[in-house]
Structure 1
């Protein structure tokens, strides 16, 4: 199964992705560390490293799926092209695709999480609240079925909800 996280930076998607990865168990492929590694390797920031990071994440997820394992992709997935990329991968591999959108209904909590987070990605700046608000307005409308989780709720409850949703999707096939 291909499980694709989506949501604004700081909304809690990486926390949910990590918890799902531990519970399933399944590897979590995260786009931001891939992009940070490109920069550390000397790829210029003037290059399309964001797009390239999605392509690398897709290649890694593809390899995991060929092993017959589930994989969780952790990325913002704000644009239709990114979502289409995951749909195409799921079709190519004949696996169910589940989008999990994580949002935070409490703006003060979301902002506080964003402002205090430090993921330790060398050379990868954390986005500002203002940048996240700009991304919110540019987020493409959803056309795909998805599970929406509110990270203002308890993590264990959200993970339980996600696991139930994934089990239902697994039983219905790709």
Structure 2
């Protein structure tokens, strides 16, 4: 479970780690995009629907013995409970990974130049990311944290690939 604020590199790390480990990669933004494209209003309910849709796709893959890498902001206890429950229902281990960009100027720079071609999800403003940071729930789980300003995406993906491969 790769977590963190928008712009920290979750999807980049998840894509590389999934390719290296032959894992299933599920991105909440990629799930949310078609939900919003159907005309539903952006908000809490669409976010919950995207998490639940990703969970519903993850569980059968976990039952088949596949590793699944989810990338999501995952900023609340309710969101994290989704993944704990999926792991429990499928008797699968779970690792929470939290990506950060400790240098706020670098984080803002990354956001300002980002275009993921998600017409409905869009790109958050720096002010929106700051609000999410202020509301980000403290971790109650053991969490692996990586600063993607201090380590390359490949270095983080290598560390995660080694962990997945060790299972």
TM-score, scaled to structure 2: 0.93
Task: Tell whether the 8 Å contact from 1:147 to 1:165 is kept in structure 2 after alignment.
Answer: no
Partner of residue 103, structure 1: 100
Preserved CA contact (<8 Å) 1:98 1:166: no
CA displacement at 1:127 relative to structure 2: 0.4
Q: How far did residue 138 of structure 1 move?
A: 0.3
Match of 1:166 in 2: 164
1:50-91 alpha-carbon deviations (Å, 9 max, x no partner): 111111011011121122211111100000011111111101
Q: What is the distance in 2 between the residues matched to 1:35 and 1:157?
A: 28
For structure 2, the 5+ residue unaligned runs are none
Where structure 1 has 5 or more consecutive residues not aligned to the other structure, the ranges are none
* Alignment match, 1:94: 91
Which one of the candidate residues 2, 6, 9 is aligned to 2:6?
Answer: 9
Aligned position for 1:80 = 77
Count of matched residue positions in the alignment of Structure 1 and Structure 2: 166
In structure 2, how many angstroms separate the alpha carbons of the residues matched to 1:97 and 1:10? Answer: 23
